Amino acid sequence: MPSADVVEIAASPEAIAARLAASRYLADDSLATAIFLAIRLSKPLLLEGAPGVGKTEAAKAVAELLGRELVRLQCYEGIDAGHALYEWNYQRQLLAIRHAGEHEIDIYDDRFLIARPLLQVLRAPVERVLLVDEIDRSDHEFEALLLEFLSDFQISIPERGTIRAATQPIVILTSNRTRELAEALRRRCVYHWIGYPDARREAEIIMLRSGDVAEATARAVSNAVQEIRARPLAKPPGIAEAVEWANAATILEKGGSPWPEAFRRAIGVLIKDEEDLSAITPELGRIVEEALA
């Protein structure tokens, strides 16, 4: 069961959406509902979506709305229990053995234990939010290890026994869907697919996230980005790139470049793939002019 203060914060999906907006994260009804359900059902939240749609940002915003520290576990090929759960500080243990001489020492004391993200969260579940970022990059073995953790929220350390979370921690997993995750993992989580926002919402996000971009510029950028994303690009631009494009174009415009030219010159912050750039460049003028109209 979630604690009383968490229930108070997560009173409804609308309350979540309002608090996320205060953290400068605009969530649609579906995402706010998924976050609400994950918190109230005490289940991990699995966010899937294309790169750049704001999955990690959502986790940061959830930590902020709950007033907790975010503990991030970045996954990669080869990540194992030593990187995710805990590790003994063997060097310190060896030194302690040498210094102890004939005296008895407990080399499995807390001071020799290096708590990795999962253990950190188990020890302080009401103070932290765990983000397991890009779980799709890890191996199947690590995913299985995580399943065990997510089922019982406990870790067994042979020398110390089992450490169990007093209350279930809030866990957010993200995946870019570069590989299919195990059904067992999806089953244990509240699931939400984050898509690219529509033009209106993206313009709102740009306004919220950028420095001093005019509303018309934000709308033009969001329209142009929608058009660009509809093409088969190797790396479709994410929301962060759209915000950067609006910012960069505004800076160039203030520096003396007229509007369509400012967008064209700043395209490097939006499209970061040489082939995508050469595919888009011939049409960029038309796309920008239509977006500005």
Which amino acid, one-letter code, is at 258? P
Task: Kindly write out the interface string for residues 12-31 of this chain, putting x where it contacts another protein by CB under 8 A and - elsewhere.
Answer: -x---------------xx-
Which amino acid, one-letter code, is at 117? P
By the rule CB under 8 A, 88 interacts with another protein:
yes
Question: Contact region for another protein (CB under 8 A) — 32-40, 57-65, 117-125, 237-245?
Answer: 32-40
Under 8 Å CB-to-CB from 20, ≥6 apart: which residues?
A: 26, 27, 32, 35, 58, 61, 62, 65
By the rule CB under 8 A, 104 interacts with another protein:
no
Which amino acid, one-letter code, is at 185? L
By the rule CB under 8 A, 216 interacts with another protein:
no
By the rule CB under 8 A, 182 interacts with another protein:
no
Of all helices (H) and strands (E), which one includes residue 110? none
Per 3-state DSSP, the chain is made up of helix, strand and coil in percentages (nearest 5) of 55, 15, 30
3-state secondary structure of 115: strand
User: Cα(218)–Cα(199) distance, rounded to whole angstroms?
Assistant: 10
Nearer to another protein, 67 or 90 (CB): 90
Nearer to another protein, 26 or 252 (CB): 26
3-state secondary structure of 251: helix
By the rule CB under 8 A, 177 interacts with another protein:
yes
Beta-sheet pairing, 113-115 with 45-49: unpaired
Nearer to another protein, 201 or 229 (CB): 229
By the rule CB under 8 A, 77 interacts with another protein:
yes
Query: Using CB under 8 A, which of 178, 211, 258, 293 touches another protein?
Result: 178
User: Cα(104)–Cα(25) distance, rounded to whole angstroms?
Assistant: 54
Which region holds residue 265: left if phi is over 0, alpha if psi is between -120 and 50, else beta? alpha
Query: Using CB under 8 A, which of 87, 127, 204, 261 touches another protein?
Result: 87
By the rule CB under 8 A, 78 interacts with another protein:
yes
By the rule CB under 8 A, 179 interacts with another protein:
yes
Of all helices (H) and strands (E), which one includes residue 62? helix 55-66
Nearer to another protein, 72 or 92 (CB): 92
Contact residues for another protein, defined by CB under 8 A: 13, 29-30, 33-34, 36-38, 40-41, 43, 46, 48, 50-51, 76-78, 80, 82, 87-88, 90-91, 93-94, 97-98, 107, 139, 176-180, 183, 186-193, 232-234, 236, 275, 279
